[in-house]
């Protein structure tokens, strides 16, 4: 199949592209700079600039572009977070509507769309989106798919938890304190902490791309949701390190601002759509997902 990837230079984009190419698929990478390889095509999502003809009859468009949400959310940076996701998706959607053969259009999205701190409530794709900055971003991000859906494309939004891999910047940051013997739960530890192994994330994206029965939002999180306490214990065990040093919530808020709620807020999400369409996780438990990430 022919895939067009936006955000292909990022951590997730590189992993997906590697897997697709290894299986013989064709990958065209959209870049914002001058192309430096035959499999790159320049676009300018800030201006909505992408030549549909240059995509040359793709089967699947995937948007994994988005400015890093781990930086302080100043008013200007909030705009960057939002626009880097919405404009990339709407540029791809506009191109999709111009193609003779409607492609599948998939965008990354986030589990933060359900809201900030939702306790024990089970979150499936049928749950309402919540309140807060990231929920508003998710509404616009996923809403940008609409023109393509209306034009007959199959569309999907990947509501992804934290993707675990030893090379993932987020996982490196989470595991660093453990490696130096200072690991511990984050905040209360009772909050549900949605994660998935990189291997299962890549498999899930391909399941969505290849399976006509999958439409709309798709949660990509462990089918057995774990709390931060369970994540902490599994990580400490896998690294053969103690986990005695809890990180107080207020300290995290001081250091990370509102982003801290992405780690402190509870989100008990279930991958209902993946499982109801036949997807089987290789790493369904937090311990197996962490072992896979460390391998």
3-state secondary structure of 272: helix
Helix, strand, coil percent content, the chain, rounded in steps of 5: 45, 20, 40
Q: Among residues 3, 7, 105, 113, which is the contact residue for ligand NDP, using CB under 6 A?
A: 7
CA distance 160 to 157: 9
Residue 13 binds ligand NDP (CB under 6 A): yes
DSSP secondary structure string for all residues of 196-207: EEHHHHHHHHHH
What tokens does 248 get?
């107080």
CA distance 19 to 80: 29
Question: Is the Cβ–Cβ distance between 67 and 78 less than 8 Å?
Answer: no
Q: Which stretch binds ligand NDP (CB under 6 A): 3-11, 202-210, 241-249, 251-259?
A: 3-11
Residue count, binding to ligand NDP (CB under 6 A): 25
Q: Which of 169, 162, 218 is nearest to 192 (CA)?
A: 162
Residue 221 binds ligand NDP (CB under 6 A): no
Q: Which stretch binds ligand NDP (CB under 6 A): 2-10, 49-57, 247-255, 276-284?
A: 2-10
Residue 160 binds ligand NDP (CB under 6 A): yes
Question: Is the Cβ–Cβ distance between 195 and 289 less than 8 Å?
Answer: yes
CB of 189 to ligand NDP, least distance (A): 20
Site string for ligand NDP, 238-257 (x = CB under 6 A): --------------------
CB nearer ligand NDP, residue 64 or residue 292: 64
Q: Which stretch binds ligand NDP (CB under 6 A): 51-59, 116-124, 162-170, 174-182?
A: 162-170
Residues lying near ligand NDP in the complex (CB under 6 A): 7, 9-13, 32, 45, 64-69, 80, 84-85, 88, 108, 110, 160, 162-163, 168, 170
């Amino acid at each position: 199949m022919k895939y067009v990837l936006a955000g292909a230079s990022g951590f997730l984009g590189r992993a997906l592209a590697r897997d697709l190419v290894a299986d013989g698929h064709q990958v065209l990478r959209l870049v914002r700079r001058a192309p430096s390889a035959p499999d790159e095509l320049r676009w300018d999502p800030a201006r909505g600039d992408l030549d549909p003809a240059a995509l040359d009859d793709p089967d699947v468009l995937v948007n994994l572009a988005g400015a890093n949400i781990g930086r302080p959310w100043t008013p200007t940076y909030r705009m960057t977070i939002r626009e880097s996701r919405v404009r990339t998706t709407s540029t791809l959607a506009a191109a999709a509507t111009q193609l003779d053969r409607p492609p599948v259009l998939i965008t990354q999205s986030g589990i933060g769309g359900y809201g900030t701190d939702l306790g024990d409530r089970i979150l499936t794709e049928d749950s309402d989106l919540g309140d807060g900055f990231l929920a508003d971003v998710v509404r616009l991000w996923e809403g940008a798919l609409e023109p393509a859906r209306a034009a007959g494309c199959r569309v999907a939004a990947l509501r992804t938890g934290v993707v675990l891999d030893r090379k993932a910047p987020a996982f490196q940051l989470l595991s660093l304190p453990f490696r130096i013997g200072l690991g511990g739960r984050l905040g209360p530890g009772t909050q549900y902490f949605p994660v998935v192994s990189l291997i299962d994330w890549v498999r899930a994206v391909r399941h969505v791309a290849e399976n006509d029965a999958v439409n709309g939002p798709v949660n990509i999180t462990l089918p057995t949701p774990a709390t931060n306490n369970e994540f902490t214990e599994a990580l400490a065990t896998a690294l053969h390190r103690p986990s005695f040093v809890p990180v107080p919530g207020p300290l995290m808020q001081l250091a990370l601002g509102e982003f801290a709620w992405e780690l402190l807020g509870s989100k008990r999400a279930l991958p209902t759509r993946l499982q109801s369409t036949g997807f089987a996780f290789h790493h369904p438990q937090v311990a197996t997902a962490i072992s896979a990430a460390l391998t």
